[in-house]
Structure 1
C-alpha cells in the first residue's frame, strides 16, 4: 500500500503538469521573497481569479505554503488588511519521489517536468513522448503485450475477441485526482508497449467508462482475430 507521504509527493508531481501551475510555481521558486496573488498574476500574465484557483491547487498538493502579512512593514490602524502570500516548500518534491509504489508514473512525470523546464516544450507533449519510450522498453523486455500488461500490474483478461480487458489501473489513486494527465500517460505507455513488442495485431482504445482502467487493448480491425493467450502468471 502507498504510504501517505509517498502519495502526497506523487500528487505534487502531477500538479505541475498543468502549464499555469508550473509557471506560478517557477515564479515562486526563483523569488527570494513570498509573493501575493496580484504579484503572481501580473508576472504570469493571467487573471487574478485564475491565479487564485491554481495557487490553492499548489497549496493543496503540498508544493506551496501561505502566510498572511501586511506588506511594507506597516502595522496598526489604517495599515490595511494583511495580504495572503505564497512561497515554495522545500525540498522540491518533483525530484524526490521515492521509487516504491507508483514509481513508474513518478519517474515519467519527473522526467517530463525536467525536460519541459529545460527546453520549454509543453509538459503534456513531453510526458506522452517519455511514456511512449518507457512503454517501448517495457514491451521489448516482456516480448508480448500480455506479458507487459501483467508485469506492469494491469491484470489483463482476454475479452473473447482477441483483445484484453484491463482489470486494474496501476495508477489508480493518481488518476482519481488527475484523470486527464494520467490517462494520457497511460495511453502513450500502452501504445509504446505495443511498438516495443512488435505487436501489429492489437491497438489501444480509450475506455472512459471502464470499471478499472481508462483504456483497453483491442484487436485491430485490419488484423485477423487471434485467440488471445492467457495472461502470464
Structure 2
C-alpha cells in the first residue's frame, strides 16, 4: 500500500507542471499512440522539449513508450517512438481508505447469496471469505501476528503493538462509511478480520479505542 501511495504522489507531482499536464490530457483524449512530433505540435514546443516531458510521464507510470509504425503504412527507416496512456489509477488518501475492498465484499455477497440467506448474512460470509484470502501471505509464518501486521499495513489499517501478543489498528480504512452505518460496516470489518485471523492462527476481537479501528488482533497465547 505504501508503494502505491508513493507512486501516486510521484504521478501527481509530475502533472503539477501545466505543460506536462496538457500533453498528458492530449494523449488521453487521442485514444491512440501519439508521436513526439504530434505532442510537440500540440504544445507548441520543440520536439526535444516534448521528449523530455513525455519521458518524465513514462518514468512515473502515466505513459508507456514504444516504437511502432503508424497508419498501417510501412516506411523506410526507424519506426517512430510513440506514447500511449497506461491504466495507472492515481489516488492518494491519507490516511488510506480501502473502499475497493469493501466493494468487493459486497459484490461477492450479491453474486454468491444463498436462497435462505438475508443480505446481511451473505455479506458477513463474503467478508470472512475475503479475510481468509488476505491471509494467504501469512501461510506457514513462524510469527503469525508479525505476518498479520505486514499484510494489514499494506491494506491501510496502520497496525501497531501496544503490548506483546496484541495488534491494534490505528486506522479504519472504511471511514467515512463507518459513520453512516457503523453497525453494518463494523460488523463486516469484524467478519473480514475474523476470517483473516482464523486463517493465520490469531484471534480478531472487538476492542474499541477512540479514533481507531474497532477490532484488534490477539495471539492465542495472549488469550490463554
So what's the TM-score if we normalise by structure 1?
Answer: 0.47
Rg larger for: 2
